[in-house]
């Protein structure tokens, strides 16, 4: 007779459920990323940006120069714009000679012909404020150059007068504004001038309506409170 197997379910009252052991999660390992750039790189970038800014500012300051074949690197500036010519003085490397923009150049000087009138003292102050002085005429060549320019910018139908840097002091003694010695033989007074020295103590180039005039004797002494145009002179700048 085959044996019969019987299954029974037995429960134990005091049995405790299987203990659950909580295993703490494995700590994440710190990731070590390799450093992508050296610590000094941000400082280098900042320095380069600063140098770029300085270069831009310098370029803006020097941009007004007009030149051929290059650019001056240094110039004492009393003006916003200069015109420079490249030259090679004897015994020197390449240099520049410069005049303010709008001024006329002759030999080693730059000349400014005003388009407005002022009294004698105001005229000298205006020239001084530009780092120049009323023109001092030292030679016949300079007188001829100025006379021809004065005719070229002639503005009135009858006459135009330009103050120059010559003034009469006591006893009718004439003196150039830059203390150049006054030499009567090297002057260009109109016939009969100067006269009325007790009152007319300033000198001016006097251009009449005849532009075809070939005479260079055109200085005239005038009252210093007369409103005249003016010619300022500035030494050419070498850089």
| pLDDT tens digits for range 19-73 | 444 545 554 455 555 556 667 677 788 888 888 878 876 666 554 444 444 545 4
Nearest alpha carbon to residue 162 among 201, 110, 116: 116
**DSSP state letters, 148-185:** HHHHHT--SSSEEEEEEEEEE-GGG-EEETT-PPP-GG
Scan for tokens 């005039």, then name that residue.
213
If you average pLDDT over each of 55-64, 86-95, 143-152, which comes out highest? 143-152
At residue 19, the pLDDT reads: 45
Q: What percent of the chain has pLDDT over 90?
A: 36
Mean pLDDT for 11-26 is 47
Q: Indicate the pTM of the whole model.
A: 0.65
Taking CA atoms, 192 is separated from 51, 76, 91, 196, in Å, by 65, 43, 48, 10
Residue 227's pLDDT band (boundaries 50, 70, 90)? very high
Confidence band for 5, pLDDT divided at 50, 70 and 90: very low
Domains of the chain, with CATH numbers? 112-232 (3.10.100.10)
pLDDT in tens, 154-182: 555 567 899 999 999 876 789 999 999 89
| pLDDT value at residue 45 | 83
Strands 159-168 and 229-235: parallel
């Amino acid at each position: 007779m085959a044996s019969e197997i019987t299954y029974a379910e037995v429960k134990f009252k005091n049995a405790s459920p299987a203990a659950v052991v909580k295993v703490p999660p494995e700590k994440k390992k710190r990731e070590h990323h390799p450093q992508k750039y050296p610590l000094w790189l941000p400082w280098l970038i900042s320095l380069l940006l600063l140098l770029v800014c300085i270069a831009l500012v310098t370029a803006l300051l020097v941009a007004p120069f007009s030149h051929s074949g290059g650019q001056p690197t240094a110039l004492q500036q009393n003006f916003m714009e200069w015109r420079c010519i490249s030259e090679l003085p004897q015994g020197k490397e390449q240099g520049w000679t410069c005049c303010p923009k709008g001024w006329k150049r002759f030999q080693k000087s730059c000349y400014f012909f005003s388009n407005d009138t002022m009294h004698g003292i105001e005229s000298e102050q205006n020239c001084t404020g530009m780092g120049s002085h009323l023109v001092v005429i030292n030679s016949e060549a300079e007188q001829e150059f100025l006379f021809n320019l004065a005719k070229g910018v002639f503005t009135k139908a009858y006459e135009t007068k330009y103050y120059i840097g010559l003034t009469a002091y006591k006893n009718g003694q004439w003196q150039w504004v830059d203390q150049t010695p006054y030499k009567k033989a090297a002057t260009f007074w109109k016939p009969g001038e100067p006269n009325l020295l007790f009152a007319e103590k300033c000198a001016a180039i006097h251009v009449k309506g005849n532009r075809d005039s070939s005479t260079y004797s055109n200085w005239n002494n005038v009252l210093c409170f007369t409103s005249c145009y003016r010619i300022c002179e500035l030494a050419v700048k070498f850089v």
